[in-house]
Chains A and B, each alone.
Chain A
């Protein structure tokens, strides 16, 4: 068995596998999260085996969990299970359903539930030169409020957004793109080969609201509205004494936030550029 360690928010999951095909699959899913010196011993062990006809089996801590093929839907299961184990005991901060990208040292956080359009908007911003950080999950440390951990997985694109995202592919790892009827798994380097991750706190929050055919609308949100919206995106509240309420209210006060209604990418670039605050190193 070979070992593959995935680390996020100070937690580590050990993934064990035998075949090179599984190793390549895991590298596609967790290339940017692989750890060789984990901060803590792994709390969970996930074992993958595959057979001659390409059927994969996932066993968690000795118990059968799932079976599937090397496709998008099984990749989604693997993401979910790894995130579950990484967050199961995570205290000391809040994990949020959110995309995140960075531009010149400023982090743009894109919180939202599944289906809100986080991945598509994140992909588009990445194609416009933003640095990809995540399309799914961030961890905001309570002890280190100046730090944001990003779950830097490849983009998970739903079937409905495939056409739009294909137009953003720029080269890089295009050969690694996984696509089937369930959507796409797109390495972010296939959209923007430049990748220099940062861990700065959010400079601006953007709540996407994709509506086909809708005109572009930007609405500044009050801190109280932002606080309520962030609570709805909280993933690990059960691990925290106040469910992360105090920390998220502080986040809501700390950065400007906007609701972005859009039906296409037309005009988005200028609009979002205008929402970004000045770079931290500029007056």
Chain B
């Protein structure tokens, strides 16, 4: 999983509110609330970065939380995939 690239589906409406975001996909009719951490991960899913690169980047940004970041990112990406808003390739 770590070497896979995260590809978000295209065509989302996105609204930023404070540090959080809401995304909505009109075809999937799926809406997603993302807290500050989720919003950051969403923005790093640019279709080029791998899962490992996203985790590494976040660990460098928040070294004090490095131990939790990996499992949190994996859980978040799993939820993206489960809700069909992203795929790993």
Contacts and interface: CB of A to CB of B under 8 A. Distances in A.
Interface of chain A, helix or strand or loop or mixed? helix
A149 B34 CA distance: 31
B22 interface: yes
Contacts of A245: 13, 15, 24, 26
A197 interface: no
Contacts of A88: none
B15 A224 contact: yes
A251 to B, nearest CB: 12
A222 B13 contact: no
Nearest to B30: A231
A20 B32 CA distance: 49
A243 interface: yes
A222 B20 contact: yes
B29 A224 contact: no
B22 A231 contact: yes
B29 A237 contact: yes
B22 A249 contact: yes
Contact of B33 (A227, A237, A246): A227
Interface footprint category on A: 10 to 19
Contact of B31 (A222, A231, A253): A231
A224 B34 contact: yes
Given A243-B24, A243-B26, A249-B22, A228 B32 contact: yes
Given A228-B31, A231-B24, A222 B15 contact: no
Nearest to A227: B22
A249 B17 contact: yes
A225 interface: yes
A227 B18 CA distance: 13
B24 A224 contact: no
Given A224-B20, A224-B22, A228-B22, A243 B15 contact: no
B13 A224 contact: no
Interface string A226-270: 011101100001000011011001001100000000000000000
A223 interface: yes
B21 interface: yes
Contact of B17 (A222, A237, A242): A222
30 contacts: A222-B17, A222-B18, A222-B20, A223-B17, A223-B18, A223-B20, A224-B15, A224-B17, A224-B20, A224-B33, A225-B20, A225-B33, A227-B15, A227-B22, A228-B22, A228-B31, A228-B33, A231-B31, A232-B31, A237-B29, A242-B13, A243-B13, A243-B26, A243-B29, A245-B15, A245-B26, A246-B15, A249-B22, A252-B17, A253-B17
